Amino acid sequence: MKYNRILLKLSGEALMGTKEFGIDSNILEQYALEIKKASDTGVQVAIVIGGGNIFRGVQGVQGGVVDRAQGDYMGMLATVINAMALQGALEKYGMKTRLLSAIKMEQICEPFIRRRAVRHLEKGRVVIFGAGTGNPYFTTDTAASLRAVEIEADVILKGTRVDGVYTADPEKDASATKFDTISFSEVYKRGLNVMDLTAITLCKENNLPIIVFDMNKNGNLLDLLDGKSVGTLVSD
């Protein structure tokens, strides 16, 4: 395998599948099987998942009901719901998992402790990080970058519903062209929506590559681990 330890970033919206809200059990099962195949190769797998299928902090702010910090905390709790769902799906297929949360909730998950997370990975357990960074004003993209740096992951694999980074949104612009590789500096320059700027900066400063790929295509994750050219590589 090309990598020893990976951080897989999944969006909450991806879990909706064809639904308008919540979790599509078919997508959840598909992701669990793909992750199992990856873990079965011996690669250490850590996961960060968003919460946009349940609640996004900006929703509350836009509605004028709650302030940004409160909304972000609500979004963090949404990520824990998704993390628990993914944990259950993985364990259904016999995988050993640990859910670590940046916000203490001992009845359902362990508190995030870096050394403990690394030890779980070394023992072959799939580690899921919930509740983002535990701080408002930071996205789950930033949480993924932070956790990846902390556990010394070899790469961030960002699973999306498009097959890489394009010059524009391919779902809206038919003339958009795909990059096979692109530098962090070019992402800045072009203002591409790979990850938010805080996450990109953290990866650039720590020389941590990102691969953006289509998680919904069966076999893509395993092909990446085999070193095949899938998606778009973002690096220096």
Q: Which pLDDT belongs to residue 34?
A: 97
Q: Which pLDDT belongs to residue 171?
A: 80
Q: Count the neighbouring beta carbons within 10 Å of the beta carbon of residue 7.
A: 28
Cα–Cα distance between 55 and 140 in angstroms, integer? 13
206: which residues sit within 8 A by CB, 6+ positions away? 149
Q: Which pLDDT belongs to residue 20?
A: 85
65: which residues sit within 8 A by CB, 6+ positions away? none
CB burial of residue 183 (10 Å; 0-12, 13-18, 19+): middle
With a cut of 70, list the residues of the chain below it in pLDDT: 57-63
Cα–Cα distance between 165 and 177 in angstroms, integer? 8
Is CATH 3.40.1160.10 what the domain over 5-234 is classified as, yes or no?
yes
Cα–Cα distance between 205 and 136 in angstroms, integer? 22
Residue type, 131: A
Q: Which pLDDT belongs to residue 57?
A: 60
Residues in the chain: 236
- What pTM, to 2 d.p., does this model score? 0.95
Q: Which pLDDT belongs to residue 18?
A: 85
Q: Count the neighbouring beta carbons within 10 Å of the beta carbon of residue 106.
A: 8
The token pair at 38 is 């990856």
- Whole-number percent of the chain with pLDDT over 90: 83
Which whole-number Å values give the CA distances from 188 to 147, 163, 183, 199, 201, in the listed order?
A: 22, 20, 9, 12, 9
Q: Is residue 196 a contact partner of residue 218, using CB atoms and an 8 Å limit?
A: no
Q: Which pLDDT belongs to residue 214?
A: 94
Q: Which pLDDT belongs to residue 17?
A: 86
Q: Which pLDDT belongs to residue 169?
A: 84
Residue type, 64: G
Residue type, 168: A
